[in-house]
Copies of this chain bind each other. A is one copy, B any other.
Amino acid sequence: MNSVIELLKSHRSIRKFTEEKIPHELLLELVRAGQSAATSSHIQAYSVIHVTRPENREQIAELAGGQGYIASCSDFLVFCADMKRPTDAAERTGANVVRGMTEQLLVASVDTALMAQNMAVAAESEGLGICYIGGIRNNPQAVSDLLQLPEHVYPVFGMCLGYPAQDPEVKPRLPVEAILKEDVYSEDPDEVEAFDQTMQGYYQARTGGNKDSNWSQNLTPLFDTKLRPHMRDFLVKRGFEMK
């Protein structure tokens, strides 16, 4: 296992940070490393908002469900899928541009994720800790208003960055055999059951026996209600009509 793979496999989310600030030049370098990720047809369909105003960070922390580290980490970024820049660019060449296709929503969301993950790896290679914040989709309209996002741009997730003040364990993942399938899709509920036992052991060890849960049980609250049911209308309103 080379040192890069070792770094990748040591990832865990960090939610407690020291007071130390990330030098601005390093932050720029991390974004550049992010931009080096593959991008579909070179469209680079993303923008990153660096939220520096303390009152905005406080507000986003609250909108995301009370995640205080959004306000207290060194730097907080909002990764936006941005179809405005590439479609505007095409329009300026005189093209009649089509917007709002489902394909465009996917391309921009994937482009944004590839870029962010490269940036996460770059950050961790510098000894920083990161935490993705999907909670900004709890109220994406309020976040969009705060960041003055125009049409055809939507906030996909946030990211906290800073110097770690905690050293949590790496969380187990499904066995590779459950993920990688040969030639055709297959599934094996036994693998999930075995992983449920792994996670039960992990939670018990981590909480001194206080958390008696497993992977499947933890997923239940995500799916037994309509999670973020506003997303469809929100995206349509922003010009991602999913045509």
Interface assignment of A157: CB less than 8 Å from any CB of chain B:
yes
A63 at the interface (CB under 8 A from B): no
- Indicate which residue in B36, B95, B149, B183 contacts A53 across the interface (CB closer than 8 Å): B183
Known pairs A4-B121, A13-B38; A85 contacts B222 (CB<8 A): no
- Nearest CB of chain B from residue A68's CB, rounded to whole Å: 19
Which of these, B9, B51, B101, contacts A183 with CB under 8 Å? B51
Contact pick for A92, options B118, B122, B189, CB 8 Å: B189
In whole angstroms, what is the CA distance A46 to B179 when docked? 7
Choose, from A15-23, A161-169, A204-212, A223-231, the stretch at the interface.
Answer: A223-231
- Decide if B185 touches A147 in the complex (CB within 8 Å): yes
Q: Is the pair B223, A192 in contact by a Cβ cutoff of 8 Å?
A: no
Return the contact of A181 from the options B9, B48, B227, B232 (Cβ within 8 A): B48
- Where the two chains meet, the residues of A that have a C-beta atom closer than 8 Å to any C-beta of B are 1-2, 4-5, 7-11, 13, 27-33, 35-44, 46-53, 56, 80, 84-93, 95-99, 101-104, 106-107, 109-110, 112-114, 116-118, 120-122, 125-126, 130-132, 134, 137, 147-150, 153, 156-157, 170-171, 173-174, 176, 178-185, 187, 189, 192, 196, 215-220, 222-229, 231-232, 235, 242-243
A198 to B187, CA, bound (A): 48
Contact A173 B32 (CB under 8 A): yes
**Chain B contacts for A7, CB-based, 8 A:** 4
Question: Of B112, B180, B220, which one neighbours A90 at CB under 8 angstroms?
Answer: B220
A223 and B98 contact, CB distance less than 8 A: yes
Chain B min CB distance to A99 (Å) = 8
Residues A106 and B8 in contact, CB atoms below 8 Å apart: no
Query: Contacts of A39 on B, CB cut-off 8 Å?
Result: 173
CA distance A171 to B35 in the complex (A): 11
Give the distance in Å from the alpha carbon of A134 to the alpha carbon of B53 in the complex.
38
Cβ-defined contact, A227 with B101, below 8 A:
yes
Complex CA–CA separation, A51 to B183 (angstroms):
5
